[in-house]
């Protein structure tokens, strides 16, 4: 029986996303390095990205699928069909987990052999430090045991959030594009503080920990974000002055519009 101690996980494509996932799994000790395999286009680069971590590089997708029980499809979305075509039959009987944006269950039903067990997800890069989000399409063909195994392993490095097919894109946008917005906010806060005389490195440290702490506080308490804002705005105080200025500049509207623009693409 497959479990977290014996499952072999392979990444087809070992770029930013796959490396973030592998790093998070290893950091959280969800699996041992020897349980992880990867293949990519450039062999020497792949060796450099896998061997120092104790992972196994594979020459091609066929070697990888042959060695693994759970295969993570982590190439660019436009390459998925071509890369999986030669291993289509081998993948029947494995657990296939896609991280490719815009490739839901229905797309894989066209690509994979009938009856292949597969799940479409959208993870985000903070998984590399064990603080990720993986939005998962509720419609999948994993067995209960396979789904439990996936949650057991990847849930150690990320919050696993099942969503309806129609919501997969927007959930992925929020969690997957959000880190860029959050990083811009951190940078902007630090720029403001540097302008006022705080050293740059200290400003980034303070801003980042403030974002981490605020997110953790919201998750731990479930408090409405508006109430969290109110809680630090004392009457006639300083925070409300900043809040009013952000409102005047359309801060929240700009973020909402950014999400709308992404979804319009
Ligand atoms: N980055 C994110 O934040 C993020 C978030 C959510 C979902 N995703 C999804 O994750 C997937 C990968 O994105 P990424 O940002 O990690 O891209 P990336 O950094 O460009 O990595 C792509 C990987 O695919 C490999 N590759 C290219 N052609 C291949 C082939 N024929 N056979 C096997 N491997 C091949 C590349 O190998 P070489 O390095 O040797 O060229 C590279 O390792 C995409 O589908 C994307 O939608 C990414």
Q: pLDDT digits over 141-200, tens only?
A: 999 999 999 999 999 999 999 999 999 999 999 999 999 999 999 999 999 999 999 999
Q: Which residue among 130, 163, 196 closes a domain?
A: 163
Strand ranges of the sheet holding 9-12, from the earlier edge strand across to the other edge: 56-57, 36-39, 9-12, 70-73, 95-98, 117-123, 132-137, 158-163
Q: Does 113 share its domain with 190? A: no
Q: Does 73 share its domain with 158? A: yes
Nearest CA to ligand 1 atom 25: 13
Q: Does 207 share its domain with 144? A: no
User: What is residue 131's predicted lDDT score, i.e. its pLDDT?
Assistant: 96
Dihedral (CA of 151, 216, 185, 242) sign: positive
d(CA 20, CA 236): 44
Q: Does 119 share its domain with 185? A: no
CATH number for the domain that contains residue 239: 1.10.3730.10
User: What is residue 70's predicted lDDT score, i.e. its pLDDT?
Assistant: 98
Tell which phi-psi region holds residue 179, choosing left (phi > 0), alpha (psi between -120 and 50) or beta. Answer: alpha
Q: Does 126 share its domain with 227? A: no
Span 60-66, mean pLDDT?
98
Q: Does 195 share its domain with 147? A: no
pTM: 0.94
Dihedral over alpha carbons 162, 166, 172, 177 (to 10 degrees): -150
Dihedral over alpha carbons 201, 202, 206, 209 (to 10 degrees): 50
Residue 1 placed within a domain = no
Q: Which residue among 105, 132, 163 closes a domain?
A: 163
Q: Which of 10, 11, 15 to mutate to test the pocket of ligand 1 (most atoms within 8 A of CB)?
A: 15
Q: Which residue among 163, 193, 208 closes a domain?
A: 163
Domain containing residue 247 = 172-264
Residue 211 placed within a domain = yes
DSSP 198: -
Q: Does 29 share its domain with 131? A: yes
CB atoms closer than 10 angstroms to residue 108:
24
Residue 3 placed within a domain = no
User: What is residue 1's predicted lDDT score, i.e. its pLDDT?
Assistant: 86
For residue 260, how far is its CA from the centre of ligand 1 (angstroms)? 25
Q: Does 53 share its domain with 179? A: no
Domain count, the chain: 2
User: What is residue 219's predicted lDDT score, i.e. its pLDDT?
Assistant: 95
For residue 164, how far is its CA from the centre of ligand 1 (angstroms)? 25
Looking at the chain, list the stretches that DSSP marks H as alpha helix, in order from N- to C-terminal side.
16-27, 43-50, 61-67, 80-84, 88-91, 105-111, 144-154, 165-172, 178-195, 200-221, 225-231, 239-248, 251-264
For residue 77, how far is its CA from the centre of ligand 1 (angstroms)? 8
Could you give the percent of the chain with pLDDT greater than 90? 99
Q: Does 22 share its domain with 147? A: yes
Tokens 């479409």 -> residue: 120
41 lines ligand 1 (CB under 6 A): yes
Q: Does 117 share its domain with 207? A: no
CATH number for the domain that contains residue 52: 3.40.50.720
d(CA 243, CA 126): 28
Residue 207 placed within a domain = yes
Q: Does 258 share its domain with 218? A: yes
d(CA 6, CA 199): 48
d(CA 214, CA 231): 12
Q: Does 103 share its domain with 16? A: yes
> What are 79-138's pLDDT values in tens digits?
999 999 999 999 999 999 999 999 999 999 999 999 999 999 999 999 999 999 999 999
Residue 265's pLDDT band, with cuts at 50, 70 and 90, is confident
* Cβ pair 40, 14 in contact under 8 A: yes
Nearest CA to ligand 1 atom 27: 41
Residue 4 placed within a domain = no
134 lines ligand 1 (CB under 6 A): no
Residue 67 placed within a domain = yes
């Amino acid at each position: 029986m497959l479990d977290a101690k014996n499952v072999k996980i392979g990444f087809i494509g070992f770029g930013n996303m796959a490396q973030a996932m592998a790093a998070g799994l290893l950091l959280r000790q969800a699996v041992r390095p020897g349980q992880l395999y990867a293949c990519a286009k450039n062999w020497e680069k792949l060796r450099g990205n896998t061997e120092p971590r104790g992972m196994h590089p594979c020459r091609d997708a066929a070697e990888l699928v042959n060695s693994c029980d759970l295969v993570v499809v982590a190439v660019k979305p436009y390459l998925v069909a071509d890369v999986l075509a030669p291993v289509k039959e081998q993948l029947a009987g494995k657990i296939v987990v896609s991280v490719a944006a815009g490739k839901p269950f229905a797309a894989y039903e066209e690509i994979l052999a009938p009856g292949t067990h597969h799940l479409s997800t959208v993870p985000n890069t903070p998984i590399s430090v064990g603080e990720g989000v993986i939005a998962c399409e509720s419609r999948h063909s994993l067995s209960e045991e396979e789904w439990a195994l996936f949650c057991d392993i990847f849930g150690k490095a990320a919050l696993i959030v099942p969503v309806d097919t129609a919501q997969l894109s927007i959930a992925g946008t929020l969690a997957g594009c959000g880190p860029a917005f959050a990083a811009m906010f951190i940078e902007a806060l630090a720029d403001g503080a540097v302008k006022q005389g705080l050293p740059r490195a200290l400003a980034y440290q303070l801003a980042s920990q403030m974002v981490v702490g605020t997110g953790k506080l919201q998750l731990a308490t479930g408090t409405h974000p508006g109430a969290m804002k109110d809680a630090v705005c004392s009457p006639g105080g300083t925070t409300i002055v900043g809040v009013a200025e952000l409102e005047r500049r359309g801060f929240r509207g700009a973020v909402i519009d950014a999400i709308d623009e992404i979804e319009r693409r």
